[in-house]
Protein backbone atom coordinates (compact mmCIF):
# COMPACT_ATOMS: atom_id res chain seq x y z
CA UNK A 1 0.00 0.00 0.00
CA UNK A 2 1.12 3.54 -0.73
CA UNK A 3 2.75 5.19 2.24
CA UNK A 4 3.36 1.90 4.02
CA UNK A 5 6.95 1.43 5.22
CA UNK A 6 8.81 -1.45 3.57
CA UNK A 7 9.58 -4.41 5.82
CA UNK A 8 13.04 -4.49 7.32
CA UNK A 9 15.34 -7.19 5.93
CA UNK A 10 16.11 -9.86 8.57
CA UNK A 11 19.57 -8.58 9.60
CA UNK A 12 18.23 -5.07 10.20
CA UNK A 13 15.21 -6.29 12.12
CA UNK A 14 17.40 -8.54 14.24
CA UNK A 15 19.78 -5.67 14.93
CA UNK A 16 16.91 -3.45 16.06
CA UNK A 17 15.72 -6.20 18.42
CA UNK A 18 19.21 -6.67 19.83
CA UNK A 19 19.76 -2.96 20.41
CA UNK A 20 16.38 -2.73 22.16
CA UNK A 21 17.11 -5.71 24.43
CA UNK A 22 20.48 -4.27 25.45
CA UNK A 23 19.28 -0.69 25.78
CA UNK A 24 19.34 1.02 29.21
CA UNK A 25 15.59 1.46 28.69
CA UNK A 26 14.99 -2.31 28.71
CA UNK A 27 13.66 -3.06 32.20
CA UNK A 28 16.31 -5.33 33.71
CA UNK A 29 17.34 -2.90 36.45
CA UNK A 30 20.95 -2.64 35.30
CA UNK A 31 21.17 0.89 36.70
CA UNK A 32 20.96 -0.57 40.24
CA UNK A 33 24.16 -2.63 39.92
CA UNK A 34 27.68 -1.18 39.97
CA UNK A 35 29.51 -4.52 39.81
CA UNK A 36 31.83 -3.42 42.63
CA UNK A 37 32.59 -0.07 40.98
CA UNK A 38 30.86 1.88 43.76
CA UNK A 39 33.43 0.53 46.25
CA UNK A 40 36.30 1.31 43.87
CA UNK A 41 35.11 4.91 43.50
CA UNK A 42 34.54 5.35 47.23
CA UNK A 43 38.04 4.03 47.97
CA UNK A 44 39.50 6.28 45.24
CA UNK A 45 40.82 3.43 43.16
CA UNK A 46 38.80 4.82 40.26
CA UNK A 47 39.21 8.61 40.27
CA UNK A 48 39.52 9.65 36.62
CA UNK A 49 38.98 8.54 33.04
CA UNK A 50 42.29 6.67 32.88
CA UNK A 51 41.69 4.64 36.04
CA UNK A 52 38.11 3.88 34.93
CA UNK A 53 39.37 2.63 31.59
CA UNK A 54 41.92 0.34 33.26
CA UNK A 55 39.24 -1.04 35.61
CA UNK A 56 36.82 -1.77 32.77
CA UNK A 57 39.49 -3.27 30.53
CA UNK A 58 40.34 -5.72 33.31
CA UNK A 59 36.66 -6.62 33.76
CA UNK A 60 36.22 -7.17 30.03
CA UNK A 61 39.43 -9.12 29.45
CA UNK A 62 39.70 -11.12 32.66
CA UNK A 63 36.48 -10.81 34.66
CA UNK A 64 32.74 -11.00 34.16
CA UNK A 65 32.91 -9.51 30.66
CA UNK A 66 35.10 -12.35 29.43
CA UNK A 67 32.90 -15.01 31.04
CA UNK A 68 29.68 -13.44 29.78
CA UNK A 69 31.09 -13.37 26.25
CA UNK A 70 32.05 -17.06 26.42
CA UNK A 71 28.70 -18.10 27.90
CA UNK A 72 26.83 -16.20 25.19
CA UNK A 73 28.98 -17.79 22.49
CA UNK A 74 28.50 -21.30 23.87
CA UNK A 75 24.73 -20.79 24.03
CA UNK A 76 24.68 -19.64 20.41
CA UNK A 77 26.63 -22.74 19.43
CA UNK A 78 23.97 -25.02 20.85
CA UNK A 79 25.27 -25.88 24.32
CA UNK A 80 22.63 -26.71 26.92
CA UNK A 81 21.33 -23.38 28.30
CA UNK A 82 20.31 -24.95 31.60
CA UNK A 83 23.86 -26.10 32.25
CA UNK A 84 25.26 -22.75 31.08
CA UNK A 85 22.89 -20.87 33.38
CA UNK A 86 24.14 -22.95 36.29
CA UNK A 87 27.72 -22.18 35.27
CA UNK A 88 26.92 -18.46 35.11
CA UNK A 89 25.72 -18.58 38.71
CA UNK A 90 28.66 -20.69 39.83
CA UNK A 91 31.07 -18.13 38.37
CA UNK A 92 29.63 -15.33 40.52
CA UNK A 93 32.35 -14.72 43.14
CA UNK A 94 30.17 -13.08 45.83
CA UNK A 95 26.64 -13.12 47.21
CA UNK A 96 25.86 -9.72 45.66
CA UNK A 97 27.10 -10.76 42.24
CA UNK A 98 25.02 -13.93 42.39
CA UNK A 99 21.96 -11.81 43.17
CA UNK A 100 22.87 -9.58 40.22
CA UNK A 101 23.08 -12.53 37.83
CA UNK A 102 19.77 -13.97 39.00
CA UNK A 103 17.79 -10.73 39.23
CA UNK A 104 18.86 -9.29 35.90
CA UNK A 105 18.42 -12.64 34.16
CA UNK A 106 14.91 -13.07 35.56
CA UNK A 107 13.91 -9.54 34.51
CA UNK A 108 15.42 -9.99 31.05
CA UNK A 109 13.65 -13.27 30.27
CA UNK A 110 10.37 -12.11 31.82
CA UNK A 111 10.24 -9.03 29.60
CA UNK A 112 11.29 -10.96 26.49
CA UNK A 113 8.59 -13.54 27.09
CA UNK A 114 5.98 -10.79 27.43
CA UNK A 115 7.14 -9.16 24.20
CA UNK A 116 7.54 -12.25 22.07
CA UNK A 117 5.32 -14.99 23.49
CA UNK A 118 8.37 -17.13 24.18
CA UNK A 119 8.61 -19.27 27.31
CA UNK A 120 12.24 -18.81 28.26
CA UNK A 121 13.05 -19.96 31.78
CA UNK A 122 14.85 -17.42 33.97
CA UNK A 123 18.56 -17.56 33.18
CA UNK A 124 21.59 -15.27 33.13
CA UNK A 125 21.40 -12.53 30.50
CA UNK A 126 24.34 -13.72 28.35
CA UNK A 127 22.94 -17.24 28.20
CA UNK A 128 19.46 -16.05 27.27
CA UNK A 129 20.94 -13.73 24.66
CA UNK A 130 22.91 -16.63 23.21
CA UNK A 131 19.76 -18.74 22.94
CA UNK A 132 18.03 -15.89 21.11
CA UNK A 133 21.09 -15.34 18.95
CA UNK A 134 20.65 -18.77 17.39
CA UNK A 135 17.66 -17.37 15.50
CA UNK A 136 19.32 -14.15 14.36
CA UNK A 137 20.83 -13.36 10.99
CA UNK A 138 23.72 -11.56 12.68
CA UNK A 139 27.36 -12.60 13.11
CA UNK A 140 27.89 -14.03 16.61
CA UNK A 141 30.77 -11.60 17.20
CA UNK A 142 28.37 -8.68 16.68
CA UNK A 143 25.90 -10.05 19.23
CA UNK A 144 28.66 -10.64 21.78
CA UNK A 145 30.25 -7.23 21.15
CA UNK A 146 26.96 -5.43 21.75
CA UNK A 147 26.47 -7.42 24.96
CA UNK A 148 29.89 -6.25 26.16
CA UNK A 149 29.21 -2.69 25.01
CA UNK A 150 26.05 -2.64 27.13
CA UNK A 151 27.95 -4.03 30.13
CA UNK A 152 30.69 -1.41 29.84
CA UNK A 153 28.26 1.39 29.02
CA UNK A 154 26.27 0.83 32.20
CA UNK A 155 29.42 1.08 34.31
CA UNK A 156 30.57 4.19 32.46
CA UNK A 157 27.30 5.96 33.30
CA UNK A 158 27.87 5.13 36.98
CA UNK A 159 31.36 6.63 36.86
CA UNK A 160 30.09 9.72 35.05
CA UNK A 161 27.74 10.40 37.97
CA UNK A 162 29.85 9.36 40.92
CA UNK A 163 33.56 9.89 40.14
CA UNK A 164 32.38 12.30 38.69
CA UNK A 165 33.40 12.43 35.05
CA UNK A 166 32.06 14.67 32.35
CA UNK A 167 29.69 13.15 29.84
CA UNK A 168 32.25 13.61 27.07
CA UNK A 169 34.99 11.99 29.13
CA UNK A 170 32.72 9.04 29.80
CA UNK A 171 32.05 8.59 26.10
CA UNK A 172 35.76 8.84 25.36
CA UNK A 173 36.39 5.98 27.81
CA UNK A 174 33.68 3.88 26.17
CA UNK A 175 35.09 4.59 22.71
CA UNK A 176 38.58 3.65 23.93
CA UNK A 177 37.20 0.28 25.04
CA UNK A 178 35.99 -0.66 21.57
CA UNK A 179 39.19 -2.50 20.67
CA UNK A 180 39.04 -4.52 23.89
CA UNK A 181 35.37 -5.30 23.25
CA UNK A 182 36.10 -6.47 19.70
CA UNK A 183 39.04 -8.61 20.81
CA UNK A 184 37.07 -10.22 23.63
CA UNK A 185 34.11 -10.93 21.34
CA UNK A 186 36.39 -12.46 18.71
CA UNK A 187 38.14 -14.64 21.30
CA UNK A 188 34.82 -15.85 22.70
CA UNK A 189 33.68 -17.00 19.28
CA UNK A 190 35.88 -20.10 19.46
CA UNK A 191 36.23 -20.42 23.23
CA UNK A 192 35.30 -23.57 25.12
CA UNK A 193 34.08 -24.24 28.63
CA UNK A 194 37.70 -24.72 29.65
CA UNK A 195 38.28 -21.04 28.86
CA UNK A 196 35.77 -19.92 31.49
CA UNK A 197 37.21 -18.40 34.63
CA UNK A 198 38.45 -15.06 35.79
CA UNK A 199 41.50 -13.32 37.16
CA UNK A 200 40.10 -9.86 37.92
CA UNK A 201 40.89 -10.34 41.59
CA UNK A 202 40.57 -6.69 42.58
CA UNK A 203 37.15 -6.43 41.00
CA UNK A 204 35.95 -9.57 42.75
CA UNK A 205 37.24 -8.29 46.09
CA UNK A 206 35.57 -4.92 45.45
CA UNK A 207 32.27 -6.77 45.13
CA UNK A 208 32.90 -8.60 48.42
CA UNK A 209 33.92 -5.43 50.26
CA UNK A 210 30.88 -3.62 48.86
CA UNK A 211 28.68 -6.00 50.86
CA UNK A 212 30.09 -4.53 54.09
CA UNK A 213 29.64 -0.84 53.23
CA UNK A 214 27.28 0.91 55.65
CA UNK A 215 26.07 3.39 53.02
CA UNK A 216 25.37 2.06 49.56
CA UNK A 217 23.61 3.51 46.55
CA UNK A 218 23.94 0.41 44.36
CA UNK A 219 22.94 -3.17 45.07
CA UNK A 220 26.35 -4.50 43.97
Which ranges in the chain belong to alpha helices (H)?
10-21, 37-42, 49-62, 64-76, 81-90, 95-116, 125-133, 140-162, 167-176, 178-189, 201-210
- State yes or no: pLDDT of 30 exceeds 90: no
pLDDT digits (tens, 9 = 90+) for 70-79: 999 999 999 9
Provide φ and ψ at 57, rounded to 5°: -60, -40
Mean pLDDT along residues 12-36: 93
pLDDT score for 153: 97
pLDDT digits (tens, 9 = 90+) for 135-145: 999 999 999 99
Q: How many domains does the chain have?
A: 1
CA angle 98, 131, 7 (to 5 degrees): 130
Predicted TM-score (pTM) above 0.75: yes
pLDDT digits (tens, 9 = 90+) for 151-170: 999 999 999 999 999 999 99
The C-alpha atoms of residue 106 and residue 112 are separated, in whole angstroms, by 10
The C-alpha atoms of residue 34 and residue 29 are separated, in whole angstroms, by 11
Read off the CATH number of the domain in which 167 is found.
1.10.4190.10
In a domain, 179, yes or no: yes
In a domain, 91, yes or no: yes
In a domain, 17, yes or no: no
Contacts 24+ apart (CB under 8 A), 14-22: 14/136, 14/137, 14/138, 15/138, 15/142, 17/136, 18/136, 18/138, 18/143, 18/146, 19/146, 21/108, 21/112, 21/129, 21/132, 22/129, 22/146, 22/147, 22/149, 22/150
The C-alpha atoms of residue 180 and residue 168 are separated, in whole angstroms, by 20
Q: Which residues of 64-75 are buried (b: 16+ CB within 10 A; e: fewer)?
A: bbbbbbbbbbbb
In a domain, 168, yes or no: yes
The C-alpha atoms of residue 88 and residue 191 are separated, in whole angstroms, by 15
The C-alpha atoms of residue 86 and residue 124 are separated, in whole angstroms, by 9
pLDDT digits (tens, 9 = 90+) for 98-117: 999 999 999 999 999 999 99
Domain limits at 154? 35-210
Amino acid sequence: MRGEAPPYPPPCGDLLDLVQWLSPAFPVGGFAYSHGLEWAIAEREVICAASLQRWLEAALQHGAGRNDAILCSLAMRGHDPVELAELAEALAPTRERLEEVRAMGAAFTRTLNALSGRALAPMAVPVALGVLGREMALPPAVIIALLLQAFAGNLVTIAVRFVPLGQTEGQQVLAALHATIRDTATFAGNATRDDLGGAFFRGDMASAWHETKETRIFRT
